[in-house]
């Protein structure tokens, strides 16, 4: 019986939905994020606001929501030449991956999350990775996560469960999952306080939240919200 979880929580729509999922499901929930000198600290600021709002607006979850962990991963920015950490334009590489791909990033995140979960005695690691409508990052795929679950469990001699609630659903269904977990109040919280835009744009407020409306992350979020809104209307 699993009762405790660590959520990879970036402050975006997906990880906030995963956090709500874990708060419904487990008795003790902690959060973790990594500062690797992202081009914009907007997400890192958004996550603190989201945690505060969840505590304030969802009293049934407040007592379950425990410690927040922030690890400094400046070294990741030092070893990777990608548009997430450098001021270069977004484009597709000849490998078929966008230049936002940081090789091994998610493997590193999962390893460090497991080390924290080990120390904090948390059984489940929840991450919002998705194979369905994102960029096909190979370190976010289901097989990679299954391999990581095995490697981390063996390598730390502790049985971890890696849970990926969003793996097989698209963005419209991610919005719907939030609606099922926390109703319109959670949907409104995600719209207002989570951040997804690659450009760090908090100047433009759209029906689906803040963002430039044009980068890949915004387009996915906007299209998903439109699909969700049409379905519940
Ligand atoms: Zn954007």
Question: By the 8 A CB rule, do 139 and 148 touch?
Answer: no
CA of 3 to the centre of ligand 1 (A): 36
181: CB partners within 8 A, 6+ apart: 17, 20, 21, 24
CA of 127 to the centre of ligand 1 (A): 22
Helices marked H in the chain:
13-25, 42-57, 59-62, 74-79, 105-120, 142-156, 171-193, 216-232
Helices marked H in 63-204:
74-79, 105-120, 142-156, 171-193
Predicted model pTM:
0.91
CA of 12 to the centre of ligand 1 (A): 12
CA of 85 to the centre of ligand 1 (A): 16
Q: Give the span between the Cα atoms of 139 and 223, in whole angstroms.
A: 24
| pLDDT band of 152, cuts 50, 70, 90 | very high
* Res 43: pLDDT: 81
CA of 146 to the centre of ligand 1 (A): 31
CA of 118 to the centre of ligand 1 (A): 36
In a 3-state reduction of DSSP, which class is residue 139? helix
CA of 100 to the centre of ligand 1 (A): 13
The overall longest dimension of the chain from CA atoms, in Å, is: 49
Task: State pLDDT tens for residues 32-89.
Answer: 999 887 666 888 889 999 999 999 999 999 999 999 999 998 888 777 665 555 555 6
CA of 30 to the centre of ligand 1 (A): 28
Buried b (16+ CB within 10 A) or exposed e, 136-146: ebebbbeebbe
CA of 221 to the centre of ligand 1 (A): 9
* Res 91: pLDDT: 65
Question: By the 8 A CB rule, do 44 and 32 touch?
Answer: no
* Res 233: pLDDT: 75
Q: Give the span between the Cα atoms of 181 and 192, in whole angstroms.
A: 17
CA of 181 to the centre of ligand 1 (A): 26
Task: State pLDDT tens for residues 80-123.
Answer: 665 555 555 666 666 666 666 678 889 999 999 999 999 999 99
Q: At what angle do helices 216-232 and 171-193 cross, to 10 degrees?
A: 100
Q: Give the span between the Cα atoms of 220 and 222, in whole angstroms.
A: 6
CA of 84 to the centre of ligand 1 (A): 13
CA of 103 to the centre of ligand 1 (A): 22
Classified by CATH at the fold level, domain 4-232 comes out as Rossmann fold (3.40.50)
Residue in 125, 94, 105 with CA at minimum distance from that of residue 19: 125
Q: Give the span between the Cα atoms of 129 and 58, in whole angstroms.
A: 25
Question: By the 8 A CB rule, do 120 and 160 touch?
Answer: no
Question: By the 8 A CB rule, do 8 and 125 touch?
Answer: yes
CA of 219 to the centre of ligand 1 (A): 7
């Amino acid at each position: 019986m699993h009762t405790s979880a660590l959520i990879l929580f970036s402050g975006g729509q997906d990880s906030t939905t995963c956090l709500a999922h874990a708060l419904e499901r487990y008795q003790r929930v902690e959060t973790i994020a990594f500062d690797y000198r992202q081009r914009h600290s907007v997400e890192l600021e958004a996550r603190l606001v989201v945690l505060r709002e969840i505590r304030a607006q969802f009293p049934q979850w407040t007592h379950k929501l425990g410690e927040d962990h922030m690890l400094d991963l400046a070294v990741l920015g030092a070893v990777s030449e990608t548009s997430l950490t450098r001021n270069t334009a977004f484009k597709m590489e000849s490998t078929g991956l966008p230049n936002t791909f940081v090789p091994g990033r998610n493997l590193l995140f999962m390893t460090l999350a497991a080390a924290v979960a080990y120390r904090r005695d948390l059984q489940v690691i929840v991450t919002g990775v998705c194979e369905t409508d994102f960029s096909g990052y190979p370190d976010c795929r289901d097989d990679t996560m299954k391999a990581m679950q095995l490697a981390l469990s063996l390598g730390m001699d502790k049985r971890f469960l890696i849970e990926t609630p969003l793996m097989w659903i698209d963005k419209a269904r991610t919005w719907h999952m939030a609606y099922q977990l926390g109703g319109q109040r959670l949907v409104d919280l995600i719209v207002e306080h989570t951040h997804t835009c690659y450009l760090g744009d908090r100047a433009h407020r759209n029906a689906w939240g803040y963002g430039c409306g044009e980068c890949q992350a915004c387009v996915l979020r906007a299209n998903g919200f439109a699909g969700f809104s049409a379905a519940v209307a």
